[in-house]
Structure 1
Amino acid sequence: MPYDPASYDPAPYDTPARDTPARESRATGAEDTLTPEDWRAAGYTPPTGIPMLNAGAPGAAPWPDRMRTLLRTPMHERPGYERTPTQERPPEVHAKNVPRILDLTLRIGELLLASGEAAEDVEAAMLGIAHAYALDRCEPQVTFTLIGISYQPSLVDAPVTADRVVRRRTSDYTRLAAVYKLVADITAEEVTVNDAYRRLAVIRRNRHPYPVWLLSLTTGLLAGAATFLVGGRIDGKAWLVFANAFVAAILGDRLASLIARRGLPEFYQFVVAAMPAALSGIILSFIDLGLRGSVVITGGLFALLPGRAMVAAVQDGLTGFYITAAARLLEVIYLVAGIVIGVMLILYAGVGFISNLNPDASLVGVDYPPVQLVAAMVLALAFAMLLQTDRRSLALVTLNSAIGWSSYGVLVNADVSPIVATGVAAGLVGLFGQLMARYRYASALPYVTAAIGPLMPGSAIYLGMLSFAQGHSSAGLVSISRAAALAMALAIGVNLGGEVARLFMKIPGGAERPELYPALPRRAAKRTRGF
């Protein structure tokens, strides 16, 4: 229903109380005397609302696409849904529900952000929830630890704002999938506010899909699979290395859990978790059996590297959320520093005792494709279980990891730079992960985060630490720089693959684009361009 300037009536916004001439004067000064054209020219939403469109209505396109379109559009240009008579409520009832709607929005946004979702996706979900409950003039704001939302009906009405602090972060992708389903139902306007609260309470009470003892064994399996991925051989010695990495990873996991129950920060947990694998590698280097202690240490690193936080940091930076991106990147730096300190303490002791640590024994390239492909798939499967991924999604995650590692192996064997090969492989993982997520109507994180596990730069980090421990500072800097370049290529590739997938997705309105869009074209976000 297009907006008709002739229907503009400022009477509902007049101030009724006029006891004295002075009060009448102040009230008259506060009245809304602007025309709709003045409101638009000033960049604000007119008091009578903005034109309502059927395009982008519930069910027209997936909610992430619809909400990203609105999120990247200035508020005074955002089209609202055309409300049906059953959805229209008296103003007093609607105003009473505003605080509850904002609280529900913040609670769902908190769960998404704590699960590792990118800041733009969290804001899109929050905007979609508010939009579905008829709060069309909302502005969500997400930072690393604080999320907020502001609702302002018009310039003559008082705004309502609410904030929520994110203090705990979880790695439960089963819960994330349930939250995504709840957001999809809310944005389709199929769930009332009360029902949404009930479903959210059920989601919070849900138990993890895997028991603690199984997760501990899975940690060992991940480290053990990484030894085959790095070593590339199957023989008696390889199985002994696997067993050492398996036991060391489980011991590190239990020690980290023990100090976590004591309330120590996550940094110290990573320091302690990295020590058993490094100690096991040092012990193997003393034994004259030809066992590769460096492979054990490298395998232990794969179980600790924060791939989820790294990908989210780069994605936030690429989409313009620089504060959140910087905070996530700082978190990654601290966690990696904890791993480095834990391993370096053991390495310095081992080098002091002249242990036989050979850097070349920790990296063989892609020389044994069948063995390394199976190892990569097992590693991704174990990683997905550690992230509490739903059982029904494990097969797709494993398949996506096979696609990524196979493409990486083909490119490396074709003499392509490992950094370029990592970026291309990560792009394919991001592309297929986004397509799998669209097929399952879920978040792309479960299909991407675990699948990039085999591509993590564990070997480069270990080589850098060993070089520093042996006194070769130049070689250590080269290895650490290479690890940083691999990590950046990995994160950018995943993000680019997801953006490419969205190019083929249905956009709000489809071919039936309304007339309002040519009149109010979508504007790009402001960026500094060299000045």
Structure 2
Amino acid sequence: MGSTGDGEELGERRPHPDEVHSAFTPPLGLPLPSHPAEDEHPTSEFALPVGLPPEVVEPLPEAEGSAFVAPGSAGQEAAPAGPIGSTASGHGAARGPAFTPPHGIPAIRLTKETPWQDRMRTMLRMPVGERPAPERVEKHAESTQAVPRVLDITLRIGEILLAGGEGAEDVEAAMFGVAHAYGLERCEPTVTFTLLSITYQPSLVDDPITASRTVRRRAVDYTRLSAVFRLVDDITSQDDFTTEEAYRRLAEIRRNRHPYPGWALTLASGALAGAASLLVGGGWLVFVAAAVGAMLGDRLAWLASGRGLPEFYQFVAAAMPPAATGVALSLAHANVQGSAVITGGLFALIPGRALVAGVQDGLTGYYITAAARLLEVMYLIVGIVIGVLSVLYVGLRLGANFNPEAALRGDERPVVQLFSAMLLALAFCVLLQQERSTVLFATLNGGVAWLVYGSMHDVAGIPAVASTTAAAGLVGLFGQLLSRYRYASALPYVTAAIGPLLPGSATYFGLLALAQKNMDSGIPSLTRAASLALAIAIGVNLGNEMARLFLRTPGADKETGGPLRRAAKRTRGF
């Protein structure tokens, strides 16, 4: 029939299926290329041109623990590589040469001989796909019901570290180390001042599990901090350390009492203020007066704390008795430097620990946490300013006579000042509730800091900011070396040692000038105090980084010597 003939003609003119899918048809007069066999490229739409040999790509070695391995495929053989552009071998079988470095992908070696802080910090700065898989198979072979327990113990450990004043990067490293030790490979911890969270994703096709915890109270206890560091070291280094054992150890750490009683803390605050008054040129009578004023301020702050007042008002209350003691001595016309008494009381109140932690978080890229810490420091300093200014204003109205230069014109007594610096660091160790084994090292570190500062500033005539930065840098360097040697936190060796460098004199002179309505000298003095405080924080962080820069980095290439440690968060703004 005619319809049949028309159908046959349409069928003859119907193009070949390969022509239908081809976007490139040869011009008229050129023969069509011969089509490959149907089974040569069963799934590829992009065949190689005729006459070009297929390029064979060697498959990469099987990467155990890769972020892009499908669940259940860790032990399977790699599929043979096909021609470039072929999808038959899958995405994980081979990569093109354009995505592979010329010398191959270096292996990451994280040996257990290095401190866990360096190992975990190195892994945190790696992309997820390059992180090594957990080594302890027996730990992550448990059932999935153990995942919430691992996340919970991880958050509890991070809470104690963050509440104790540890930097955000070290808290994240500890949390990642605990989770990684218990087999949670694809996990990401996050620290933002008062909030801790951790997310674990079993594989690319599974839903992530997220847990969080809020830090509502902050308690300075470096003994507890050191115990938590030892716990993290045991978890990351021992193969048979179970979650039940970790919970038991953590409960013991929380139950342990502070190593020093309340009366010892009060005496330490008095010794700190007295040592600071000697440091700025006062005599032994000034030492006693400053110690009495600081102890009264400490007891008043404890009373305010017991009544539930915020920390801001506690600092206001603690700043008033030392200032009142100096004003009373000035009104009595006693042969005592009231300025040195007030300056000594300020040394015990300046929040140097929070300032160093805030600047360190900012330098390592944790800007939200750094901004919150620095805002906290600003509030506490404002509380100190209000307490001291209110007392100074009343004293000036009553006729007290303060000589701003009196505390700076003391005789040069290097031996007494060195002893005062070490005593100040020792008192700081007690206030920070440090372990007795760390007190001697921190005290010596504080003496070295003041010796370097005095040699550079008083003898060589180097500006105070540069001298403070150099002295704080040595404190950070020695603290980091001691922490690596003892596998502990660097805070017990650093925080107390920077006590002699705190800008107590500049802060007092600025406040006194403001009370006397002398803005021309008050604002520069407070600016100088802020510059010295930032110099301390930057110097401590620089010393820490110098220790990590020159010591062997975990994961470094033994052949080239090039370190594989990533920069903190970003590099040159990218």
Is the shorter-chain TM-score for this pair beyond 0.5, marking a shared fold? yes
Give the whole-Å Cα distance in 1 for the aligned partners of 2:136 and 2:559: 19
Larger radius of gyration: 2
| Equivalent position of 2:421 in the other structure | 376
**CA separation of 1:39/1:332 partners in 2, compared to 1, >3 Å: closer, same or farther?**
farther
Q: Counterparts in 2 of 1:267-416, with a 5 A limit?
A: 267-364=312-409, 367-413=412-458, 414-416=460-462
**CA separation of 1:415/1:207 partners in 2, compared to 1, >3 Å: closer, same or farther?**
same
| Equivalent position of 1:252 in the other structure | 297
Give the whole-Å Cα distance in 1 for the aligned partners of 2:519 and 2:528: 14
Give the whole-Å Cα distance in 2 for the aligned partners of 1:329 and 1:409: 28
Match of 2:545 among 499, 508, 512: 499
Q: Counterparts in 2 of 1:183-194, with a 5 A limit?
A: 183-190=232-239, 191-194=241-244
Q: Counterparts in 2 of 1:33-182, with a 5 A limit?
A: 35-36=91-92, 55-57=109-111, 59-83=112-136, 86-87=138-139, 89=141, 93-182=142-231
Q: Do the aligned residues in 1 keep the contact of 2:70 with 2:204 (CA within 8 Å)?
A: no
Structure 2 counterpart SS, 1:195: helix
Deviation at 1:77, TM superposition (A): 1.6
Deviation at 1:511, TM superposition (A): 5.4
| Equivalent position of 2:56 in the other structure | none
Give the letter aligned to residue 456 of structure 1: L
Q: Do the aligned residues in 2 keep the contact of 1:366 with 1:412 (CA within 8 Å)?
A: no
Deviation at 1:9, TM superposition (A): 8.8
1:89-127 CA distance string (max 9 Å, x none): 2xxx33111100010000000000111110000000111
Q: Do the aligned residues in 1 keep the contact of 2:158 with 2:174 (CA within 8 Å)?
A: yes
Structure scoring higher RCO (CA < 8 A, sep ≥ 6) equals 1
Q: Do the aligned residues in 1 keep the contact of 2:477 with 2:540 (CA within 8 Å)?
A: yes
Structure 1 counterpart SS, 2:114: coil
Deviation at 1:241, TM superposition (A): 1.5
Match of 1:477 among 523, 531, 535: 523
**CA separation of 1:70/1:530 partners in 2, compared to 1, >3 Å: closer, same or farther?**
closer
Give the whole-Å Cα distance in 2 for the aligned partners of 1:314 and 1:181: 26
% identity of equivalent residues: 60
Does 1:444 pair with 2:500? no
1:448-498 CA distance string (max 9 Å, x none): 000000000010000000001111011100000000000000000000011
Give the whole-Å Cα distance in 2 for the aligned partners of 1:82 and 1:417: 52
| Equivalent position of 1:423 in the other structure | 469
Match of 1:3 among 62, 67, 78: 62
Report the RMSD for the aligned CA atoms in angstroms: 2.8
Q: Do the aligned residues in 2 keep the contact of 1:2 with 1:52 (CA within 8 Å)?
A: no
Which consecutive unaligned segments of at least 5 residues does structure 2 have? 1-59, 74-88, 100-104
Structure 1 counterpart SS, 2:546: helix
Greater helix share, 1 or 2? 1
1:29-67 CA distance string (max 9 Å, x none): xxxx973269999x9xxxxxxx9978215x231101111
1:331-352 CA distance string (max 9 Å, x none): 0000111011000000111111
Query: Which TM-score applies when normalising by structure 1?
Result: 0.87
| Equivalent position of 1:26 in the other structure | none
Give the whole-Å Cα distance in 1 for the aligned partners of 2:69 and 2:557: 35
Give the whole-Å Cα distance in 1 for the aligned partners of 2:192 and 2:215: 9
Give the whole-Å Cα distance in 2 for the aligned partners of 1:460 and 1:157: 58
Structure 1 counterpart SS, 2:143: helix
Deviation at 1:367, TM superposition (A): 2.1
Which consecutive unaligned segments of at least 5 residues does structure 1 have? 14-32, 44-50, 233-237
Give the whole-Å Cα distance in 2 for the aligned partners of 1:172 and 1:417: 35
Query: Which TM-score applies when normalising by structure 2?
Result: 0.80
| Equivalent position of 2:6 in the other structure | none
Deviation at 1:354, TM superposition (A): 2.3
Residue-pair matches, total: 490
Give the whole-Å Cα distance in 2 for the aligned partners of 1:282 and 1:352: 11
Structure 1 counterpart SS, 2:144: helix
Give the whole-Å Cα distance in 2 for the aligned partners of 1:100 and 1:357: 61
Give the whole-Å Cα distance in 2 for the aligned partners of 1:366 and 1:403: 21
Give the letter aligned to residue 69 of structure 1: T
| Equivalent position of 2:274 in the other structure | 224
Structure 2 counterpart SS, 1:289: coil
**CA separation of 1:510/1:222 partners in 2, compared to 1, >3 Å: closer, same or farther?**
same
Give the whole-Å Cα distance in 1 for the aligned partners of 2:329 and 2:379: 29
